[in-house]
Chains A and B, each alone.
Chain A
Amino acid sequence: MQVEVDTDQKKIRAQMHTLEGVAAALLVIVASFYATQSITITPTSSSTASKEAESQIRQTAEDVLAQAWANGDLKDAVLNWSTTQNQFRGTGASVYYRGKAPPGDFGDSLKSLFGDEGVAYNIDLRYKQSESGNATGTATQIYLDNGEPTDNAVTARQFVVLHEDDVLGDGTVVNGSNYPVDNIGRNKGLYNVVEVRLTVWRK
């Protein structure tokens, strides 16, 4: 009789130990999983941290475009074209700006925000092409080139509307033959809508 009781107690105790071992193992596993997750949220790791950095840099880029659009600096920059040299004004030998900010207030904003932070940026102008009737194509004019963006580059965009009575940087009225952006208005007031794309990345 005593032997049977001892055997039952041993069985129960063995089950308890087993349960304890399983619970402890699960605790270790879950804690390790939690710790692993926590490790990914560090400033130097790739995914989460780069998303945070991208978000910040995108917000800055969007802000600078929105601000420049609101005060007219962006439109001035887009229209800063020389009809005689057939290039953006102040570019030197190139049609577009290379390795430097464009002149004017918009360029100053870019320099002050991105100049000292190890950040590079490109600017493209995308616009609707002038084709017959209901043209669906778009074309791109490089405005500023600082090299090839990295994989974690972000792009901010802002529409700028050009009008048929707008004046270019050299004082001439814009038209389809003296400016790289097509005239889709055909004497109906609106010249074209330009999407300014500011691509920013950390060097």
Chain B
Amino acid sequence: MAEVSRDDRAQMIIIGGLIIALGLVAVATILNGLIFSQNLASRGNQLNDDMVVEIKEVTTNESAEAIRYTNKHDPDKTPGDAEDMYDAYFVNYSIAVQNLTATRQVHTSFDRSPNGVWEVAQNQSLDFTDASGSADWGLTTAQDADTVYRMNFTDVSHPGSSNFTVTVDPLTGNDWEMNLTSSEVVVTDGTTTNEFSVSYPITVEVMNGSGSINGSSFDLLSDHIRNQEDYQISFEGGDQVQGKYFVRFDPNTVSIAGSGPCSTGASSTCASSSGRIAGVVHNASIDVNYFDAKVNYTESFDVTEGGDVR
């Protein structure tokens, strides 16, 4: 009886060992299959993700291009025109992409809405303001015909830049003569280089648009003007004011050639009665929708003319 029990125990040990070995091999096989499947599946998603990234990247680029195109064309357009122009461009883009992706069994759609379609006014007076926001045009409280005032523009958003330097020389009475020079803009009154007269109180304006002033090329639809970024304006010998400004020139005294807003029509000279309002797109909201068999992706973001995404 005792001999029989020992034999049975040995037999059971063998069977137990076999079952354990069998389990180990089975576990290894299952794990191997699982890991392999996961690896392949994640690779598939990566490829689809790449397509999403590509579409978002190209769409961002083209929305910025649409804004650039809108802002550079038709300088007399109204804000409504600008919105239509942007829409027409982007609709063409979205239809083309939809057509091309449809053959890949991918559905893409884009919703867009231009934000900040602003009137970049060029024939309006806007006050300088002090730090509290109150109108403050006073160059100085004490008019002194012997004092040379220098007005410095500082683009706060771009430290170190010197976009404008304006020198104001007081003359007799209420007339002032102003020299305005910068690396970007050269303004003349058509008779005397870099000089023109304005009436006191001084209204300093920088015109919006692209083209040239008396042969000097400029781009007054540049971002720092259009986006109404902060400028700090200081007067040497005068009061200090700072705030956000549209800076424009006196339309009666500035002659413009080229494709600037005032050049439209028969006369290339801006008259005070000229409609000098240009609609521009500041930024646009984009909704990207992307669907395929594995990916369901939607995202909304804002794009500026420079291609910045917010």
Asked if residues B96 and A34 are in contact (CB atoms below 8 Å), the reply is no
Contact of A190 among B7, B89, B104 (CB under 8 A): B89
Asked if residues A193 and B93 are in contact (CB atoms below 8 Å), the reply is yes
- State A135–B102 Cα separation when bound (angstroms): 13
Q: When each residue 1-24 of chain B gets 1 if its CB lies under 8 Å from chain A and 0 otherwise, what string results?
A: 100100110011011001101100
Q: B69 to chain A: which residues have CB within 8 Å?
A: 163, 189-190
Q: What bracket does the count of chain A residues touching chain B fall in?
A: 35 or more
A133 → B minimal CB distance (Å): 10
Contact of A128 among B47, B50, B96 (CB under 8 A): B96
For A129, the closest partner residue in chain B by CB is B99
With A24-B18, A190-B89, A190-B92 in contact, is A34–B43 under 8 Å at CB? no
Q: At the interface, yes or no: A185 with Cβ under 8 Å from chain B?
A: yes
Asked if residues A16 and B15 are in contact (CB atoms below 8 Å), the reply is yes
For B11, the closest partner residue in chain A by CB is A16
Asked if residues B22 and A23 are in contact (CB atoms below 8 Å), the reply is yes
Q: When each residue 1-43 of chain A gets 1 if its CB lies under 8 Å from chain B and 0 otherwise, what string results?
A: 0000100010011001101100110110011011001000000
Q: When each residue 180-191 of chain A gets 1 if its CB lies under 8 Å from chain B and 0 otherwise, what string results?
A: 000011001110
A52 → B minimal CB distance (Å): 9
For A6, the closest partner residue in chain B by CB is B4
Q: A137 to chain B: which residues have CB within 8 Å?
A: 99
Asked if residues B100 and A138 are in contact (CB atoms below 8 Å), the reply is yes
With A9-B4, A138-B99, A185-B92 in contact, is A161–B29 under 8 Å at CB? no
Asked if residues B65 and A161 are in contact (CB atoms below 8 Å), the reply is yes
With A31-B25, A62-B50, A161-B93 in contact, is A20–B18 under 8 Å at CB? yes
- State A116–B4 Cα separation when bound (angstroms): 74
With A9-B4, A26-B22 in contact, is A34–B15 under 8 Å at CB? no
For A165, the closest partner residue in chain B by CB is B69
Asked if residues B97 and A17 are in contact (CB atoms below 8 Å), the reply is no
Asked if residues A30 and B97 are in contact (CB atoms below 8 Å), the reply is no
Q: At the interface, yes or no: A46 with Cβ under 8 Å from chain B?
A: no
With A34-B25, A34-B29, A126-B100 in contact, is A23–B18 under 8 Å at CB? yes
Asked if residues B96 and A27 are in contact (CB atoms below 8 Å), the reply is no
- State A24–B20 Cα separation when bound (angstroms): 11
For A138, the closest partner residue in chain B by CB is B99
Q: At the interface, yes or no: B26 with Cβ under 8 Å from chain A?
A: yes
B42 → A minimal CB distance (Å): 11
Binds A, one of B55-63, B132-140, B161-169, B252-260: B55-63
Q: At the interface, yes or no: A136 with Cβ under 8 Å from chain B?
A: yes
Q: At the interface, yes or no: A66 with Cβ under 8 Å from chain B?
A: yes
- State A33–B25 Cα separation when bound (angstroms): 10
Asked if residues B58 and A161 are in contact (CB atoms below 8 Å), the reply is yes
Asked if residues A192 and B96 are in contact (CB atoms below 8 Å), the reply is yes
B155 → A minimal CB distance (Å): 29
Q: At the interface, yes or no: A179 with Cβ under 8 Å from chain B?
A: no
Q: At the interface, yes or no: A172 with Cβ under 8 Å from chain B?
A: no
Q: When each residue 111-152 of chain A gets 1 if its CB lies under 8 Å from chain B and 0 otherwise, what string results?
A: 000000000000000111000001111100000000000000
Asked if residues B11 and A159 are in contact (CB atoms below 8 Å), the reply is no
Q: Nearest 8 CB-CB pairs, A to B? A: A23-B18, A193-B96, A16-B11, A189-B69, A128-B96, A188-B88, A189-B89, A190-B92
Question: Can you report 21 A-B residue pairs in the complex whose CB atoms are below 8 A from each other?
Answer: A5-B1, A13-B8, A16-B11, A16-B12, A20-B15, A23-B19, A27-B22, A27-B25, A31-B25, A34-B28, A37-B32, A55-B43, A126-B103, A158-B54, A159-B58, A189-B66, A189-B70, A190-B62, A190-B65, A193-B96, A193-B100
- What 14 new A-B contacts, CB under 8 Å, besides A30-B25, A30-B29, A127-B96? A13-B8, A16-B12, A19-B15, A55-B43, A62-B50, A128-B100, A159-B54, A159-B97, A163-B69, A184-B96, A188-B85, A188-B89, A189-B89, A190-B66
